[in-house]
Amino acid sequence: MQGVCIMIINLDETIFSYDKFVAAAKRLSQQYDAILKCVTIGKSQDNRDILLLKLGLGRNHMVCCGGVHARETINPIVLMRIAEFYADLYINYKAERQDLKNQLLNSKEYLENEYQQMLYQYCTYELLQTFTILFIPLLNPDGYMISLEGFDSVRNEQLRKRCLQYKISAEQWKFNARGVDINRNFPCKLWRQKNKYDRAASENETRALMGVFQKYHPLGFLDFHSRGESIYYYRSTMTDLYNEKQYKIAGRLKEITSYDLMPPEEEIDLGDTGGNTVHYFSEKFNKPALTIETVDENASFPLDPKYRASVFDDLKLVILEFGSMII
């Protein structure tokens, strides 16, 4: 019943460490055990678990990923909160749907708040009957901890020394514990070798996400990054028909978020090496895949936790709508 479940993900919490993240994920799976499971999909380079939250009962799958880049610390917690939000709506709808229907039928006035709540609950219930949403809120836990607590958080001495050689501050760190940009490590047509030691899919984190794709064959993929409040949809290596569908989906998500659609010519920055998550997924599975950049373009790193609440408001309906457009 409404109010029985206790909110676990507090968006106002100042520091959300990896250990706290893991504990919260496990608590979510216990509180919503009928609808949500927490599993490990691999180990990071510094031997941290990479977690997957499986939310829903549907036979179809979609993947929502965050925390690919270390310094982008807002989205992992927001995705956890969205998973909790959906789970709570689902459970409450099952418990209260008849009461809500009776209220609407018997009321003498238009109950706008009740109707909106019921609509959210109904849409979420239907989505989670059709889909299992595969949330990977934090693909790069080592980098996340470097960004939050500095290089002392790297437990392996050799890896820590390697990171320090880059002479990049912890606040600006984008990489994993081996100094590799995960979002340039996926084997796709635009991937380019950056040095003689560079290999596509060399990193544990990369292979963990690829493994999820290969196991579940999802119908769609959303990868959440920061900054810019924008949506990247275009793929130069894909067909016009594919990009037309991408554009349609991106346009609808723009309506929900008010984020900008990035033009095709800005798919990849000049001189970039390629190897993005979404490029790999698009080419491998020929299914919709978008990058959504949250947080104001002018935000500085480290990102202020205050952004979590506004990003949650921006994104909380995005996954519902995405699911309705890819089935």
CATH of the domain at 119: 3.40.630.10
How far is it, in rounded angstroms, from Cα 145 to Cα 117?
37
With beta carbons less than 8 A apart as the criterion, state whether 167 and 144 touch: no
With beta carbons less than 8 A apart as the criterion, state whether 140 and 67 touch: yes
49 within domain boundaries:
yes
Give, for 50, the enclosing helix (H) or strand (E): strand 49-56
What pLDDT score was predicted for residue 4? 64
Q: Which comes out higher in pLDDT, residue 223 or 94?
A: 223
Which tokens hold the place of 31? Answer: 């509180």
What pLDDT score was predicted for residue 179? 97
Q: Which comes out higher in pLDDT, residue 117 or 306?
A: 306
> Cα torsion at 65, 76, 156, 171 (round to 10°)?
120
**If you ran DSSP here, which 8-state letter would residue 172 be given?**
G
10 within domain boundaries:
no
285 within domain boundaries:
yes
6 within domain boundaries:
no
Mean pLDDT, range 91-109, rounded to an integer: 69
Mean pLDDT, range 281-306, rounded to an integer: 98
66 within domain boundaries:
yes
74 within domain boundaries:
yes
145 within domain boundaries:
yes
Residue 108 has pLDDT above 90, yes or no: no
What pLDDT score was predicted for residue 2? 41
Which tokens hold the place of 284? Answer: 């491998």
This prediction's pTM: 0.94
1 within domain boundaries:
no
What pLDDT score was predicted for residue 270? 75
Query: What is the SS3 assignment for 230?
Result: strand
Residue 216 has pLDDT above 70, yes or no: yes
The number of domains in the chain is: 1
The whole-angstrom distance between residue 123's C-alpha and the CA centroid of its chain comes to 20
Query: What is the SS3 assignment for 39?
Result: strand
Residue 3 has pLDDT above 70, yes or no: no
Give, for 211, the enclosing helix (H) or strand (E): helix 204-216
Quote the domain boundaries for residue 29.
18-326
pLDDT, tens digit, 9 for 90 and up, residues 249-291: 999 999 999 999 999 999 987 778 789 999 999 999 999 999 9
How far is it, in rounded angstroms, from Cα 196 to Cα 193?
7
How far is it, in rounded angstroms, from Cα 169 to Cα 219?
38
Q: How confident is the model at residue 98 (pLDDT cuts 50, 70, 90)?
A: low
